[in-house]
Structure 1
């Protein structure tokens, strides 16, 4: 999707400092007080061995090995779940991250278009990475009820469609007459329902947390958008969600960032209040959210050490 109305100038030091301060303040408002986080090397080796045991591609052209750190980094968000469930989420996260990049790089896009059809018809995907996702997704009923499994499955199938959509709309100019389109696209591509529903223990009745799911979608997607923005500005990325949001509103990215932060902080506190009557659901979200911040802190790509340093100056 095109955002050619936006500036692509190199950000100066004061602009980057302002972004760091804005993000640091966002974390403070959400009650986050974390410092350095490192990838658990022992668990990384365990996850890699599990992927090898399952026959997932770990070497060569289709390898997911470079994405295993992403999978391991998400583990703290699901540390409250049984080990086999946490492992499933680590492998799932690594595979979908690999697919994201595969499509971005224009690799084997034809196979991606046929994933949902082949999944529904129980056919081989004919592609090592997509086969891995197929295998993982079919296991979801081992972890959750049929209803929750349905929500997660649909979210993943929509993620695949979103990747195809991104391929077909990469030159499409964002219209200010369609201000909700970027959010629609983000919900499809971010898989928030999969990451969100999976966080709640399987034995917890869905009625205890279903009403917070719309807010949880916002938190999962936009915490990532907010914490990605600093490194994306350094890289000169003009195709991220914030850029699309700004283009659709004919506003600046700074204004879009402030709007997103207000929306996300409100969603975070909405969830806390919504889940407060059920201690298990409440504690689950608190653990998930803390782990989600750690996920970003553990991966160097987000440059969180620089942002965390800004927090210490408050």
Structure 2
């Protein structure tokens, strides 16, 4: 996909949702000093990763939490940064056969109350216990916050099996290729790409933390629960869109956008005419479609959480007597995630989006100047 097409599509989406790339938060030495030490002294020795890989892992684990949870306590930020670092390491270690065998047994050992044999998985298990204790007074929120981290491990195993099939597919021809095309057509009706994406994500856990960024905070679930499904979609789709550029550079085709492209193309739907030759549906068409769906979901979340009204009340506008402090807290914590999560993708070295961040910053600076 040409850089211009990707840039145009994402810029339009960011403008449609009113994205604001805000300054990076001040360095929190109480949080990130201990996290750095933990990376060097605890996680690093338990893994097979080299120093360069661990530096990048720390960059990812720290960055998403530092950027996306401006209201989080040091305790929560540190815990979620550790979990993010570990889950990223696990996700990128599926080709490590020795670790793979331990990963296969992870969830069973959790359910049986057995000790994890792999040191990285043992750390992961202990951090999940800590996370569960933080939510001991709320079983619903605990389920949202803890269970996805466990499910993610088994989803990675499922993803590996499907990736093996994907490799076979790339070498297929003749009758085998016809079989795969038929499967794509059926998959488009069964929403398989979305199912695979949701299984491998920990989006519910990240969503739960938006509304529980501090152990002392207890926001009423009824105030934000209806927005959770769209927030989960926001987390997943934003990552799919903003990681697509680096995946295209790497030639990766096992992702939501490519899977969905093949499903739509194979379905032969007359109402889905693409931009390719003879109306062929392309990955760029899927990217645009996903951006539109994400824009609509973002607006629904903003509406449900009354973001615009809360912002107006904070600015001193009258006539908003039914907006209380709890409403404002919920809306601001969502806004903090909304802008921070996107900003993290633009800034993270993993996604190679420096060019896009510079464009967005220049546009916002121009709007402020005018």
CA contact (8 A) 2:86 2:120 kept: yes
1:305–1:62 distance in 2 versus 1, CA, 3 Å: closer
1:223–1:239 distance in 2 versus 1, CA, 3 Å: same
Structure 2: distance between partners of 1:112 and 1:207? 36
| Normalised TM-score (structure 1) | 0.87
Which structure ranks higher in relative contact order (CA pairs < 8 Å, sequence separation ≥ 6)? Answer: 1
Matched, 1:71 2:61: yes
Aligned to 1:282: 331
Matched, 1:214 2:229: yes
CA contact (8 A) 2:47 2:120 kept: no
Matched, 1:189 2:200: yes
Structure 1: distance between partners of 2:48 and 2:226? 43
CA contact (8 A) 1:151 1:194 kept: yes
1:41–1:297 distance in 2 versus 1, CA, 3 Å: farther
Matched, 1:21 2:1: no
Structure 1: distance between partners of 2:67 and 2:332? 14
Deviations 1:101-129 (A, max 9, x none): 01155552121111111011221111111
Structure 2: distance between partners of 1:196 and 1:91? 17
- Aligned residue for 2:71, secondary structure, equals coil
CA contact (8 A) 2:5 2:284 kept: no
Structure 1 portions without partners, runs of 5+: 1-10
| Normalised TM-score (structure 2) | 0.75
Structure whose residues are more often helix by fraction: 2
Structure 1: distance between partners of 2:245 and 2:62? 23
Structure 1: distance between partners of 2:83 and 2:345? 17
Aligned to 2:141: 148
Aligned to 1:175: 184
Deviations 1:16-46 (A, max 9, x none): 1121121122222222232785995955443
Structure 2: distance between partners of 1:36 and 1:307? 16
- Aligned residue for 1:178, secondary structure, equals helix
1:133 to 124, 140, 145: 124
Aligned to 1:31: 18
181-190 or 290-299: which moved more? 290-299
Aligned to 1:111: 102
1:20–1:110 distance in 2 versus 1, CA, 3 Å: same
Matched, 1:161 2:170: no
Structure 2: distance between partners of 1:198 and 1:148? 9
Aligned to 1:272: 302
Structure 2: distance between partners of 1:40 and 1:95? 22
Structure 2: distance between partners of 1:41 and 1:282? 24
1:128–1:19 distance in 2 versus 1, CA, 3 Å: same
Matched, 1:263 2:293: yes
Aligned to 2:348: 299
Structure exhibiting the larger radius of gyration computed from Cα positions: 2
254-263 or 225-234: which moved more? 225-234
Deviations 1:179-230 (A, max 9, x none): 2111011111111101111111240111111111110111000101111112
